[in-house]
Amino acid sequence: MNLLIIAIADVMWPRGPMLASVSRGPIIVAILGIILIFIATLSTAVHHWTDIFDHWYISPLSIILILFFLIATYVIYRIDNKNEDSGNTKRKGSSIINRLDPETKRAFAFYIISSLCIIGTSIWLSEVGDKLAETLQWEESFVGTQFLAISTSLPELATTIAALRLGNPEMAVANLLGSNLFNMGFVLFADEIAITNGSLWSNISLSHVITGLTGIFMTIIVVTTLLLRRHHPQAFSFKWINLESSILIIIYIIASAAIFYI
């Protein structure tokens, strides 16, 4: 869903193709995200092909997933550190003092309260989604990838719109790709720990392989566009929509239809 939001943001951006205004910085996050999606997709497929790991409390594939997530987080941290001016110790000292001002404390408190509200509503939302799938006799995988994904992605959409209004498309794209990385790494591993009747991967539908492959394909399109737009910023750019946004939206619609009918 986050990758679809990139397409929506591109349509909303008034200054031509949005990804042409973004540096190559988010590319490493996107590539690491592709690898995590691949591990998760492979885990789903393997657990449906064989039951050798079904009786394990934590699948070894989940351990690989969280280890790679930690490595990816460290890699991003190291890259960000290299891009900073580490020699400016005065600015670093003043920034530490500024973090403790009353305005920052209020912002931090508001962040914690907002996060707790989101967690509370998310628990209720999962129950609603389960009842919705049962009432409409739809596959839980379809309800999860569409209705729940849309609901849980609304904060991401709001953040993206705010970033665009500030004239900062790079923040919007980095936020969406970073969220993908976190969801595929940490959140899926947390789900694996929380589930009590076997492995997470053997309890989810095989149709999520389509979801994973779709995520990989859409992320590759974003990476390719970030590379090409640096040299050809206005190529295949139309009045209301650009080529990459059209492709992302079409892929999402086709994948959604495939999940619904499978």
Mean pLDDT of the chain: 83
Please give the average per-residue pLDDT across 42-55, as a whole number.
87
Alpha-carbon torsion, ordered 256, 220, 3, 164, to 10 deg: -150
pLDDT for residue 5 is more than 60 = yes
Residue of higher predicted confidence among 1 and 29: 29
Pick the CATH number of 2-80+102-261 from 2.50.20, 1.10.3470, 1.20.1420, 1.20.1300: 1.20.1420
- Please determine, for residue 239, whether its predicted confidence score (pLDDT) is greater than 80: no
Burial class of residue 5 (count of CB atoms within 10 Å of its CB; 0-12, 13-18, 19+): buried
Most confident of 58-72, 120-134, 245-259: 58-72
Q: Is the pLDDT of residue 215 over 90?
A: yes
pLDDT at 163 over 70: yes
Task: Write out pLDDT tens, residues 99-129.
Answer: 557 777 787 888 888 778 877 777 777 777 7
Percentage of residues in the chain having pLDDT higher than 90: 35
The region of weakest confidence among 81-95, 142-156, 204-218 is 81-95
197 — pLDDT class (breaks 50, 70, 90):
confident
- Please give the full DSSP string across the chain, using - where no structure is assigned: -HHHHHHHHHHH-SSS-GGGGS-STHHHHHHHHHHHHHHHHHHHHHHHH--TTTTSSS-HHHHHHHHHHHHHHHHHHHHHHHHS-TT-HHHHHHHHHHHTSHHHHHHHHHHHHHHHHHHHHHHHHHHHHHHHHHHHT--HHHHIIIIIHHHHHHHHHHHHHHHHHTT-HHHHHHHHHHHHHHIIIIIHHHHHHH--SS-HHHHS-TTHHHHHHHHHHHHHHHHHHHHHTTT-TTTTB-SS-BHHHHHHHHHHHHHHHHHHH-
Residue 144 banded pLDDT, cuts 50, 70, 90: low
Lowest mean pLDDT among 43-47, 69-73, 178-182, 254-258: 254-258
pLDDT reported for residue 89: 46
